[in-house]
Amino acid sequence: MGGCANVGRMDGEGTQRKRGIYLLPNLLTTGALFAGFYAIVAAMAGRHEPAAVALFVAIVLDGLDGRIARLTGTQTDFGAQYDSLSDVIAFGLAPALVVYHWALAHLAAYGWLWAKLGWLAAFVYTACTALRLARFNTQLGVADKRHFQGLPSPAAAGLVASFVWMAVGLELPGERLAFPAFALTLLAAGLMVSNLRYHSFKELDLRSRVPFVAVVALTLVLAFGAIDPPKALFAAGLVYAFSGPVLTLVEVQRRRRRRARLPSGAGRAPRRR
């Protein structure tokens, strides 16, 4: 209780600083952390579908805490650090352990080497999540707000969780999908630490006017998602995961065409005599 009290103290200029933390955004971050922890406990108990659903609850709560903090003017350095630590558990350790207990642990049936590769894939995923978050935190002041560098950790967690959720719903055991799960885990890990560009959707203005056709299309997407959420989420995760290479390739081609239009020698530094 003492850590959350708004106790003031005087700084060098005689002004009073307020100590404490804001409740609402940090409560949402704690909820995301709890959902990730619950996913780990459920996976260890063999309840893989609730574990996958808990990861999506963590994704929703993680998306809300930052937006509410910005809307209410309650952004703090403490909240940013707490959010990153929560993300390591909810989007790094939890998805890795869920997919490990569901499928990767069964690679041991193919020999001791595959047994080690199974838990190493889960560790690589966790480590890449931590590296992705560390890089993101160090680039906050210089990064382009319109794009992410590398696949965001919540999107990677959603891709893995939706695969587990979809397979459980189709009654496909993890033993049969151990190798696809192994490949998907390493793919998500590699995309997180890559230099590929992904849309951040931070410039999406929900208050602006859109064509009527866009509303109809959104309604159809929501209807499809309501019919079979696991398949819809997995399809959306795949589309977003592969949008990074496509977006990066388009950007590279655009830069090449732009350079080709420049006159010969333009943009080059003059030679010194």
Digit-coded pLDDT (tens) for 23-69 = 778 889 999 999 999 999 999 999 999 999 999 999 999 988 877 87
Tens of pLDDT, residues 198-254:
888 766 665 666 676 767 777 877 777 778 889 999 999 999 999 999 888 888 888
- Averaged confidence pLDDT in the chain: 84
User: pLDDT tens for residues 4-33?
Assistant: 433 344 444 444 445 556 677 888 999 999
Distance of CA 62 to the CA centre of its chain: 9
Both structure tokens of 140: 């906050």
Nearest alpha carbon to residue 106 among 124, 121, 118 = 118
Average pLDDT rounded to a whole number, residues 135-141: 81
- Asked if residues 97 and 48 have their Cβ atoms less than 8 Å apart, the reply is no
User: Where exactly are the structural domains of the chain?
Assistant: 21-259
**CA atoms in the 13 A half-sphere facing the CB of 55:** 36
Sign of the CA dihedral running 193, 98, 199, 247: positive
Q: Looking at the domain covering 21-259, what would its CATH class be?
A: mainly alpha
- Written as one letter, the residue type at 228 is D
For residue 4, what pLDDT is reported?
41
Cα distance between residue 8 and residue 19, in whole Å: 6
User: Between residues 61 and 273, which one has the greater pLDDT?
Assistant: 61
- Please determine, for residue 173, whether its predicted confidence score (pLDDT) is greater than 60: yes
Which comes out higher in pLDDT, residue 5 or 169?
Answer: 169
pLDDT of residue 8: 41
pTM reported for the whole predicted model: 0.83
In sequence order, the 6+-apart residues with CB closer than 8 A to the CB of 169 are 49, 230
Strands 16-18 and 197-199: unpaired
Helix or strand or coil: residue 37? helix
Q: Which residue has the tokens 């397979």?
A: 167
pLDDT at residue 183 is higher than 70: yes
Residue pair 100/118 in contact by the 8 Å Cβ criterion: yes
Q: Is the per-residue pLDDT at 273 higher than 70?
A: no
- Which stretch of 89-93, 108-112, 227-231 has the lowest confidence by average pLDDT? 227-231
Amino acid 40: pLDDT: 97
- Which residues share a beta bridge with 128? none
Q: What confidence score (pLDDT) does residue 80 get?
A: 83
Helices (H), the chain: 23-44, 48-72, 77-87, 94-102, 112-138, 153-169, 178-192, 212-227, 229-261
Q: Is the pLDDT of residue 189 over 80?
A: yes
Taking residues 113-122, what's their average pLDDT?
96
Structure-token pair, residue 212? 């009527």
pLDDT given at position 88? 96
Helix 178-192 to helix 229-261 angle (10° resolution) is 40
